């Protein structure tokens, strides 16, 4: 004889249950907003300090100034990255006052997409626990925080790639219906914008591609095909791919008339520099890469991999492939710079979140009788919990140290400010200045010739900036001053430029010597 329990479907819901439901919905959202506000505060703290956090800041600031005067990227302004970075920064730069602070503000705002992406990815992997862990790990990453405060393309590109992968995993959880279609499209858009900011984050396509292939494989199975027979189930992945392609084409469309120059700047320039700087693999690349992996985030990522393998969580595969792809791209990046290492943050954060699955078994198994296997897994859970806690705490301490005692500027601030002051004194608004230190020129409110906004050693040694280019630009009557401030204009490829300047300009100031020992001089005419 069977018993039957009848439940009254019309039973009233208590006020307590209703208030709990409301709290369960709004508390995580409030916490997300609070953490985003904290993240924004960390980015705004002393954001406008007139110091050089990276040489590229001067390059991008001069590029933005040239754009504000109507000069076009690639054909007139030398630019070695895909177009979206400067296109996304430019409106905020213009609206916020056309200053170094304005450019950094745009980067800080763009980096918030990475925090949102971490939340979405963590929530897709392991609910709100995963969301908080992912957001805290990203928020406390010193590397990600630094790149969110520097006028550079790496931070925004990494942030958008993390958002794209987070949206893709959200789509995987709910691949059908209009919501699935929307998530797939947004993921494709975010990935396209991230790669069109900087090609460094191209490995973010790997985990998303694996999810798409697995979804198509599911849809070919008879049982799954019957359950997901709606057209949206099939078209959601196609919509994501279509959105990626359309956004990429739309970003390239304005530059069709100068496509050849654009291709040389963003592809040929980098392939040639990779060949020229191939000797740096052992001397620079390997040491820097080891330094980038010697962080608490790496250990939390390894703990997540260990837990995922023990639990046979298949999601470790696309995330680990993402991590390996990023390592391979960094190995191919020559010369490799410290700011490139921020690309490691998203895959390591995602792998770390997989360790969250060890948190619940740890507490649920403490009060029950356990087998030897369960005891082993409980010990593993305890270790993972400690690693996650220590990793977050240590990273938070590093953030405090970074904000209170930031790393020294690339160029000493005193001589940089003095050079900017002298440029204001010896030149007039509208005059052009040629320099191997473009930030000093920008701080003075002066411009460089658009084709010379990037006087980097990589560009000089790869042959994309020659001695004749410098001489030809210096012969323009608008060029009123030349500032030698680093060793770049003393490289072998252009070392005769100094002799040419001494014959056509006169020396007005000597500031000392740069890090190599060459004199820092200001010449005017």
Going from the C-alpha of 238 to that of each of 190, 204, 241, 280, 400, the distances in angstroms are 15, 18, 5, 41, 45
pLDDT value, residue 375: 52
First vs last C-alpha separation in the chain = 107
Q: How far apart are CA 349 and CA 135, in angstroms?
A: 9
Q: Is 74 left (phi over 0), alpha (psi -120 to 50) or beta?
A: left
Mean pLDDT is lowest, of 2-16, 216-230, 320-334, for: 2-16
Chain-centre distance for alpha carbon 116: 13
pLDDT value, residue 437: 94
Say yes or no to pLDDT of 233 above 80. no
Please answer whether residues 244 and 251 qualify as being in contact, where contact means their C-beta atoms are separated by less than 8 angstroms.
Answer: no
Q: How confident is the model at residue 20 (pLDDT cuts 50, 70, 90)?
A: low
Which residue pairs, CB below 8 angstroms and at least 24 apart, start in 510-513? Answer: 511/415, 511/418, 511/419, 511/485, 512/415
Q: What is the pTM of this model?
A: 0.89
Tell me if residue 522 falls in helix, strand or coil: strand
80 CB-near residues (< 8 Å, 6+ apart)? 265, 266, 269, 270, 454, 459
Nearest residue to 443 (alpha-carbon basis) of 107, 90, 101: 101
Nearest residue to 481 (alpha-carbon basis) of 437, 417, 516: 437
Take residue 55 and report the two structure tokens written for it.
């040489």
pLDDT value, residue 224: 53
Q: How far apart are CA 295 and CA 196, in angstroms?
A: 28
Please provide residue 431's backbone torsions phi and psi, each rounded to the nearest 5 degrees.
-70, 150
Mean pLDDT is lowest, of 342-351, 353-362, 440-449, for: 353-362
How does pLDDT run across 90-117, given as a tens digit for each residue? 999 999 999 999 999 999 999 999 999 9
Nearest residue to 114 (alpha-carbon basis) of 332, 345, 364: 345
How would you label 216-248 residue by residue, b for 16+ Cβ within 10 Å and e otherwise?
Answer: eeebeeeeeeeebeeebbbebbebbbebbeebb
Calculate Rg over the CA atoms of the chain: 27
Q: Report the alpha-carbon angle 334-339-345, nearest 5.
A: 110
* Residue 40 CB neighbour total at 10 angstroms: 16
256 CB-near residues (< 8 Å, 6+ apart)? none
Take residue 63 and report the two structure tokens written for it.
């590029």
Q: How confident is the model at residue 328 (pLDDT cuts 50, 70, 90)?
A: very high
How does pLDDT run across 489-499, given as a tens digit for each residue? 999 999 999 99
Mean pLDDT is lowest, of 140-149, 279-288, 359-368, 476-485, for: 359-368
| Ordered DSSP codes for 394-407 | HHHHHHHHHHHSPP
Q: How far apart are CA 201 and CA 158, in angstroms?
A: 6
What's the average model confidence in pLDDT over 297-315?
89
What's the average model confidence in pLDDT over 281-299?
90
């Amino acid at each position: 004889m069977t018993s039957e329990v009848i439940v009254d479907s019309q039973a009233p819901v208590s006020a307590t249950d209703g208030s709990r439901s409301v709290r369960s919905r709004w508390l995580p959202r409030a916490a997300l907003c609070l953490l985003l506000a904290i993240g924004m505060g960390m980015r705004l703290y002393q954001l406008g300090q007139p110091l050089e956090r990276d040489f590229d800041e001067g390059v991008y600031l001069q590029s933005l100034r040239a754009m504000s005067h109507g000069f076009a990227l690639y054909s007139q302004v030398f630019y070695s990255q895909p177009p979206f970075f400067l296109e996304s920064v430019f409106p905020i730069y213009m609206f916020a006052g056309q200053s170094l602070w304005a450019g950094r503000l745009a980067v800080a705002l763009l980096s918030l997409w990475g925090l949102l992406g971490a939340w979405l990815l963590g929530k897709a992997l392991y609910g709100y626990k995963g969301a908080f862990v992912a957001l805290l790990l990203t928020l406390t990453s010193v590397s990600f925080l630094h790149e969110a405060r520097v006028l550079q393309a790496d931070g925004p590109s990494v942030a958008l790639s993390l958002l794209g992968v987070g949206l893709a995993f959200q789509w995987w959880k709910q691949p059908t219906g209009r919501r699935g279609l929307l998530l797939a499209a947004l993921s494709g858009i975010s990935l396209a914008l991230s790669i069109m900011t900087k090609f460094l984050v191209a490995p973010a396509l790997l985990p998303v591609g694996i999810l798409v292939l697995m979804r198509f494989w599911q849809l070919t199975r008879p049982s799954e095909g019957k359950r997901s027979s709606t057209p949206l189930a099939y078209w959601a992945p196609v919509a994501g791919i279509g959105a990626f392609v359309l956004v990429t084409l739309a970003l390239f469309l304005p530059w069709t008339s100068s496509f050849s120059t654009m291709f040389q700047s963003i592809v040929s320039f980098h392939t040639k520099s990779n060949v020229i700087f191939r000797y740096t693999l052992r001397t620079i690349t390997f040491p820097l890469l080891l330094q980038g992996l010697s962080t608490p985030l790496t250990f939390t990522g390894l703990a997540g991999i260990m837990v995922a393998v023990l639990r046979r969580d298949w999601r470790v595969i696309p995330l680990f492939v993402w991590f390996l792809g990023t390592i391979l791209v960094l190995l191919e990046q020559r010369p490799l710079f410290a700011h490139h290492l921020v690309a490691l943050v998203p895959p390591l954060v995602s792998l770390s979140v997989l360790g969250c699955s060890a948190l619940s078994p740890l507490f649920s198994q403490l009060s029950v009788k356990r087998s030897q296997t369960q005891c082993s897994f409980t010990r593993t859970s305890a270790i993972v919990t400690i690693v996650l806690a220590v990793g977050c705490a240590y990273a938070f301490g590093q953030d405090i140290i970074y904000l209170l005692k930031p790393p020294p500027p690339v160029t000493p601030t005193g001589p940089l400010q003095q050079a900017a002051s002298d440029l204001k004194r010896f030149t007039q608004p509208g005059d052009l200045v040629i320099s191997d230190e473009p930030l000093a020129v920008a701080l003075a409110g002066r411009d460089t010739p658009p084709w010379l906004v990037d006087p980097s050693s990589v560009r000089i040694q790869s042959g994309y900036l020659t001695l004749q280019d410098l001489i030809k630009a210096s012969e323009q009557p608008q060029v009123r001053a030349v500032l030698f401030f680093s060793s770049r204009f003393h490289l072998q490829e252009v070392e005769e430029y100094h002799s040419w300047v001494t014959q056509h300009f006169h020396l007005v100031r000597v500031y000392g010597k740069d890090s190599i020992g060459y004199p820092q001089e200001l010449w005017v005419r």
